[in-house]
Structure 1
Amino acid sequence: MSGYSELISNQNVLTAIPNNSQTVTIDKEIICEGELTQIHVTPTEIGVNYQLQSEETTIGIPQAGNGSEIHFTITPSKSTNYQIVATDDSTLESTTLSQTTSIEVISAPINDIAVSISEKQICIGENTTISLSTSETGVSYQLYDKTSMQGDCIQGTNSAISFPEFSPFRSVPYHIVATNNICASTSTLNQTAMVLVGLSPEDHLHPTIDKHTICKNEEVVISLTPTDPTVSYQLYDGDTPIGAPLYGNSEDLNFEPTTPIASTTYRIEALGNKCLNPVDIRYTVNIDVHNPPQTNRELLVDREKICIGEEAILSIKNSENGIFYQLHDGSNFLEPNIIGNGNTIDFPSIAPLKRSQYQVYAHETVCIDKISLNNSQQIDIFDIQPLSLENFVTPSEICLGELVDIELPTSITGIEYILHDGNEEIGSITSSGKAVVFEKILPSEQSSYKITIGNCVDEFIGSKPEIVVHRNPKLQILSKDARYGNDGQLTISTSDGTAPYKYIIDPGETYSTEAELLELNNLAIGTYQILLVDGNYCRSSDAGQLVEIHLEDGKKVIVGNALTPNGDGINDEWLIQFEPDLTAPEVFIFNIYGQEIYHSKSYQNNWKGSYNGSVLANGAYYYLIDFESEAIKPIRGTLSILGN
């Protein structure tokens, strides 16, 4: 039995496998490239060797177990996963510890990033920008000019980045130093940025100009001295370049002749051979361009047509400030010149002796060539003698209140003819060369007509039309009312007229007489229209004067009681006299037997005692008269027919 047990025990020793549950720790899981760190194993077994491996690669030599802690010292170059293999010394049985560890190694910044510069050649004071094609997150980048760090660091973004725009003061290659923000490890990028910095062109040069004051369309030449052969010079009118740039020649530099269109200031920009932007030459040149006078100013005249000896005034509308204007009458320049002030200006008054065409010439203080304005003015002279105009008055003899026409059979185009009655202007006509007619003129007894020429300043009487005005006769009428119907009277008298007189009575007759008094008797009641025409054919009125004969004592109606239809003109018709405010009545006539022998709805005093075409026998007849008026009741009575 004892031999068997020993055999079994020896068998266990030969097949022993190391324990794999030890604790594995590391001092720092994250380290910078080149840094040391230690991996610890605890507890270790005596008789067991421990080997550190990285991705099946043996690192260093094995460490013998000592019953407590062992450690491995390493300097990893990259991030790695580590494991430990335990090997029994006697059986050579191995096992990998179940616990592994990892180390993250932070590498130095990469240095193969492309570097670019925006402007490789600049002048002092100009800016440029240095950029990186890519960058690393967690890395800061800074410019280095081999003397000192320049500006502030910029942080990587894992994309392209640019340093702030800056202004180098000398030519130098710029290096870029990359620093890891955690480990402070640095690297210098392989590429550099070289910038060439030159001096700016000299700006204290003095440009000159051959003429500072010119007339429009004249040329000027601008020069600059001294000039630098490494600098180009550009002439400007404000912001507009003039011609092509010229390179300096160490002497006077003459720009191409230029023709300024207005007063301006010329400046010159100088561009160095390494400069991005030109600089302004400190001094400029001014040119004062004097424009010729404007020819569209209007020439005015206060009177285009005047009479001999009268004056006219010519004016310039909207004159130009500082421009000289002079009149020319077609033959000579007239003194003096007048100077424009921006408003309307007047020449001294002129008194031409003949028709003249006036032109105005203008010139400027610098540009003294005279230029004529676009328009001119003609002044006509009217050679008219006083009271020389023939005239006709139609009719030449009138009654007061009638109208006449006053005619000038010939006239002059453009003449204004003015008709006056005494000091009162009646009307004016500007002639077109035809006859001038003042129509429908109403003269008075005191009218005194004259025709003046309106084109003349002073009163110029060309004609005095003569008109004979007769007074119209005046009527005075006295009437006497009728007592019996046909015994009314009118007494008519006249004054202011001229005999012989013609009295026209309607209804009635016309009487011609030298007498200024006319008496009319045996008139029926009614309305009479009386018109008087005197020996000058003047009328008392246009339509006649109305006068009425009424019935005496306020009677309204008088009925005739007798009829003698024998043709002698007396009582041949049966008359019913009534006031004018009544209408013609309805009439019935009956014989003694009650037979109706006449009837009229509106009796007109025209029944001559007939029945069926025959004159009735003498005798008594009865009538009924109805005025259809509330004021007058129907009238009944007896009528006698006599004289058959």
Structure 2
Amino acid sequence: MTKYGITILLLNLFGALSCFSQVALDCVNAIPICNNTPINAGTDGYGLDDFNGASVSGCITQATGTVETNSAWYRFRAAETGQLGFNIGFNSNEDWDFALYKTDDCRDLGEPIRCNYFDNSDDSIYIGVGQDPTGVANIQYEDWLEVSPSEDYYLLINNYSNNNSGFSIQFSGNIFVEFPNSALDCNIIDNLLGPPKIACDNENVILDATTSDAIDYEWYLDIGAGYQPIPGESGPELNVAVSAMYRVLVVRPSGNNLISETQVAYAPAPFTYELTDETACLDGTVIDFNSKDLEALGGQSSLEFLVTYHSSIEEAMNGINALPKEYIPTQTLETIFVRTTSLENGNCYDASESFDINGIELPYLDFDTNVFICGDTPVVTIGQRIPDSNYTYEWSSGQNTSLITVAEEGVYTLSVTNVVGALQCITVRSVTVIFSRPPVISDVTILYEDDASNVISIFLEEDGDFDYQVDNEEPQSSSIFNNLFPGEHTITVTDLNGCGLDSKDIVVVGFPKFFTPNADGVNDKWKVDGLSVLDNPVITIYNRYGKLLYQLNEDSNGWDGTFKGVLLPESDYWFKLSYTNSLGQDTNAAYINNHFTLKR
């Protein structure tokens, strides 16, 4: 297993080494982080107020008198250019927040460039910058950092919960793919033995205290009871075997001896067990990778190791682009690569195993989902015209063929099943059958006020899905037209389901509903407006018995209510309109056979 070439440096701060915790309560004493980070058992209280009494810094606000609450400070310096993030891991029942400052001076922190303060009501186990390493969407993550060499950062971590079992710091980002050994600048750690070291339990760690003028070396270790000498170790290098704090005394001739200390923490190296292949329908079926975790871990604890799933071996090796645990396959054959990572040290991982997902294609159905049939006694054949002998077909109406003939309106549903072993992959498609008839115009009413105001209403024998059109204008869904110009018009009603149309010619003219021929100068004569737009218009007036009383043309002044000079009585009278249409034919105007009233 290689130590480098990963994008997540997972540095767990839980567990047996809590006694060696390094916590800096103040910014000025912030613990430097290099490619390895010291183990931290948690936080307790706070030191000097680094915010000079301010009540807020970015998203972090006062809770117990200062911005800092059960705080810890860390610092790091970028050594390369690239994308960088970090994950702060903790128990799901705890509430941890952070603020990140881009500065090289604790006296001038400014506002944080990344900050998160959510109360962890979602029981997350990570907050940070970049992407949650479990692959889930997490509101407690801020955007990636784009860093450049020599940029300094200070990280404040606060604990707002009553529980305090510690946290981990994990670096991530593509910068660790391109520069696995130099992403962060280790020169910020001024120590003969170098920065704290975290390694896998199958790796060899050598501490090097070589000093040019040294005459002797004394090595010590502390596993919790204070520093004790290591018998037989007097050389410049120490081959480390256990997790502990280590100290070296470098004896020099001048008596100006050197003392240096560092921490070495071994994390367990995981082993990924063989996983079984999966079979799933390609219909949006979810495969729960959480259940695959148990296979991958075998008897290993999920509290010590994290299992992630990836689309390529490169992504699994680098720990990037983890697939969601609720995974929906989309291919007929897909290989999933598994990475098992130590929560104490992200450098300790195993990406040797994979498994296949065999995706079962669903039957493809392409027949129309809406069928409209014209006629009084129609029948129609619906369904999949080219069946597949490998599939079974079943209609909601009971038939077991790919095509059926129906004679009734309704919704018909076809279920097609592809059986592979014990797995059934089903495609369902419904077709709506509508029997339709062509429209028939039964009546047209024309309400005429004047040449600029009229209402034309169209009536049909049966309801249906129609549109209405006057002349060559745009069709409309309403059966009412307003303010048509006087004259001849064609009304067309079309069935939207393709079952034909009906057209009627109408004439728009206006006439008063009554007149009063009493020589008072008001409504003394009855006449029809709009005749001037027609060719050879003639109005014929009748009484209720059909007797012809009078005829008007476009030049007439109107009818005065007499017949051969004799005053006619108050009553209703009827009229018809004839004219020469656009085809040169003499015709009677449809729907203009109306009545009016003579009042004395």
Of structures 1 and 2, the one with the larger relative CO (CA 8 A, separation 6+) is: 2
* TM-score using structure 1 length: 0.29
Of the two, which has the highest radius of gyration? 1
